[in-house]
Amino acid sequence: MKLQVDERTLREVALTQDEYKVIVEALERAPNAVELGMLGVLWSEHCSYKTSKALLRRLPSTGPGVLQGPGENAGAVSIGEGWAAVFKIESHNHPSAIEPYQGAATGVGGIIRDVIAMGARPIALLDSLRFGPLPASSRHFEGVVAGIGGYGNCIGIPTVGGEVYFDECYEQNPLVNAMCVGLVRVDRLMRARAEGPGNSLLLVGADTGRDGIHGASFSSVELDESSADRRPAVQVGNPFLEKCLLEACMDLARTDAVVAIQDLGAAGLTSAVAECAGRVASAGARIDVSLVPRRQRGMTPYDVMLSESQERMLVVVQRGREPEVEAIFQAWDLTTAVIGDVTDDGHLTVFDRKELVARLPIDLLTNGAPTRRPIAAAPEPAPVLDLDSLPPLVDPAESLLRLLASPNLCSRRPIIRRYDHMVGDATVIPPGGDAALLRIKGTRLGLAMTTDCNSRYAHLDPNAGAQLAVAEAARNIVATGARPLAVTDCLNLANPDRPEVAWELEETVNGLAQACRSLELPIVSGNVSLYNDSGGDAGIHPTAVVGMVGLIDDYSKRLQAGFRNEGDFVLLVGSTLNDLGGSEYLKVEHGLTAGRPPGLDLTREKAVTRLVLAAAQAGLLRSAHDCSDGGMLIALAECCLLGELGVRCPAMRPEAPLRLDAAFFAESPSRFIISAPSRAMPELQTLARRHHVEIALLGMAGGDVIEFEGQLKVSLAEVRAAWESGLEIFH
């Protein structure tokens, strides 16, 4: 048996010599070229999670209402009245670094198909993006935003939320995470399980081309100077074809002939067939690649099995009922082809007409990759922040304007306007606030959704950073009046072969697990993206993006962030500490990233969110907005800008040891800015005492200035001019 193969061949399929030996021993022979390619893509980090799989078992994934947890195309939770919300977030980082437009566009297309495969109609898209500083990273920034907008707008799914941040660590390694949310009747929720020997495998959608070959392998190694040569590994999307595919899959509800649907994403046909079969004990599949419709001549079985051409689905159809399923797809002018059938021999067998070109055990493909546990070691501690060394805050108004104009805090309107967020006529809270909210047509239910992460916190302490991301996402959901339901996550890290990155991965997972358990939020789906690294020490900060959905029983009772009425009381819920570590204030005003991230007490976090929810449900609040990046004064300014209404407050006189700059700009968690009519104050104060939460009067809404008497006074026109200047490159 050939126990070794040359390094260049193995690098092409992202395998090591040790992994190759495991393959040879399992097969009791050397794999041929097609088999090696198939094993390479499914054993890649991108598909097998061989580094993170053991850690991910620590995450909570069950709870009331969970219909489907990790292991399927997407997670699903019950939301009442017979409906389920289906959702997932995934990364398309490496492709977007090389080809920003197509990388982002096909990332959107792929996550949409994951939701479609569950039988759900996609109703919303969100994103979480990271780039290097502007203008140096404008190619990545503009290309990615155009790709997301181009695909989502064309397919007719609103992009309703997201986040964009800029930091030096993402200059060579931009992050593009896309989230999709869909709806399905609970009794029509599908699972991608290849059940029933003899049932047919129907390939539908786009013809297969050479684009995307080795895409999964490419996403499982560091970017280097040769990465630009891997452009063929970046898929090319066609949103108009995917729209037809979406509608055809929705029409499948007319028939009970469909056993399962599986997206052809990373690793293409190899992954789709193997994963479908791998979810059923002893199931296998037999396919004939000569039956696969192709865009290009001369494609080999290797090309067909590894192609990641977009807009394709695998449908398992009851034997003998193929014509009625094919008729549905043909009505949408989509190509269909029966390429094989389900077997009960536990193997994926591939023919090219009568020639056997590959035969591999399903379990070896899907579960055979040896797990890795890289050596983990904590890096040098983050720089200590000596608060006493910081100069005192001299001009709060000037600091406010500089912060509002910074790319990480400024208005996202130049991006939002590129996205159609109203298509579908269900969006009742658009992007730009805390979380989006969509109504469930035919009901009073509203579904809230958000994505959140502060990677500067995670850089200083990955465990605390992950916890803070969960807590902020929950606050954003609560700020709409909805209660958080469940989480999907996308863990973006650098090369785990570096001990400090392996430690960051472990700490990130531990932080997510602790926060989600404490806040009773199951993680029902997710993604891990490693090797976001350009070699050496040029890796990204650990970036654990949290996508979250929540539910409000009556969307007419929703809250938004902007102040609504002259004369309403403006209040701060929660307490402020000297939490300047990792803050935007510290970075913008003092050029520092140092200290500890804000301290999070999860018991206190629950109390604060329960207070705000109780007050919202009692009809006591006019608005609510989470305090997060930039601190209280930034949140207050956003409330004024979004409501086009100013605020007048007495001077801020913090009691020692709280500093004045911290009172305005500290990013202490577990806080909201709320507004309420004067008549609601007695009941609101009673609720606050009942929940053991501090609530302090800041001032009164009204006028066209933001004023703290004797300390700052700035017109809303000045504030808006600063806020809307931060992304001038995109105007």
> What CATH number is given to the structural domain containing 562?
3.30.1330.10
Active-site residue 625, yes or no?
no
Same-domain check for residues 280 and 412? no
Q: How confident is the model at residue 1 (pLDDT cuts 50, 70, 90)?
A: low
Residue 130 lies in a domain: no
Position 566 confidence tier, pLDDT thresholds 50, 70, 90: very high
Measured from the Cβ of residue 569, the count of other Cβ atoms closer than 10 Å reads: 18
**What value does the mean pLDDT of the chain take?**
94
Same domain, 361 and 398: no
pLDDT at 46 (0 to 100): 87
pLDDT at residue 467 greater than cutoff 60: yes
Residue 708 domain boundaries: 387-730
Task: Tell me the C-alpha to C-alpha distance, in Å, between residue 672 and each of 82, 478, 581, 612.
Answer: 33, 10, 20, 8
Signed CA dihedral, 424, 426, 431, 435: sign only: negative
293-302, 479-488, 607-616: which has the minimum mean pLDDT? 293-302
Q: Flag whether 271 is in a domain.
A: yes
Per-residue model confidence (pLDDT) at position 216: 47
pLDDT confidence of residue 265: 84
Q: Is residue 108 part of a domain?
A: no
Is 121 among the domain residues?
no
Amino acid letter for position 389:
S
Identify whether 128 is part of a domain.
Answer: no
CATH number at residue 264: 3.90.650.10
Lowest mean pLDDT among 229-233, 576-580, 646-650: 229-233
Domain's final residue, options 317, 339, 367: 367
Mark whether 354 and 407 lie in a shared domain. Answer: no
Look at residues 338, 367, 396 and tell me which one is the last residue of a structural domain: 367
Do the domain assignments include residue 184? Answer: no
421 is annotated as an active-site residue = no
Distance CA 567, CA 114 (A): 48
Does residue 535 surpass a pLDDT of 90?
A: no
Instruction: Note whether 333 and 397 are same-domain residues.
Output: no
* 559 occurs within a structural domain: yes
The tens digit of pLDDT for each residue in 401-431 reads 999 999 999 999 999 999 999 898 899 999 9
In a shared domain, residues 410 and 338: no
Number of domains in the chain: 3
pLDDT-derived band at 224 (thresholds 50, 70, 90) equals low
Alpha-carbon span 681 to 684, nearest angstrom: 5
Q: Looking at the structure, tell me whether residues 625 and 519 fall in a common domain.
A: yes
Mean pLDDT for 632-642 is: 98
Share of the chain above pLDDT 90, in %: 89
**321 and 407 assigned to the same domain:** no
Average pLDDT over residues 313-342: 97
Last residue of a domain, one of 332, 367, 402: 367
| Same domain flag for 572 and 714 | yes
Would you state the pLDDT for residue 233?
55
State the pLDDT confidence band at 220, using cuts at 50, 70 and 90.
very low
Q: How confident is the model at residue 121 (pLDDT cuts 50, 70, 90)?
A: very high
Query: Does a structural domain hold residue 560?
Result: yes
Return the amino acid letter for 79: I
Residues 346, 400, single domain; the answer is no
**Span 518-522, average pLDDT:** 98
Same domain flag for 293 and 211: yes
> In terms of domains, do 683 and 618 share one?
yes
Q: CA of 384: how far to CAs of 44, 325, 463, in Å?
A: 39, 64, 18
Q: How far, in Å, are 385, 391, 467 from residue 388 at the CA level?
A: 9, 8, 28
What is the pLDDT, as a whole number, of residue 626? 97
Both 414 and 470 in one domain: the answer is yes
pLDDT at 323 over 70: yes
Of the chain, the percentage scoring pLDDT greater than 70 comes to 96
Kind plus residue range of the DSSP H or E element containing 627: none
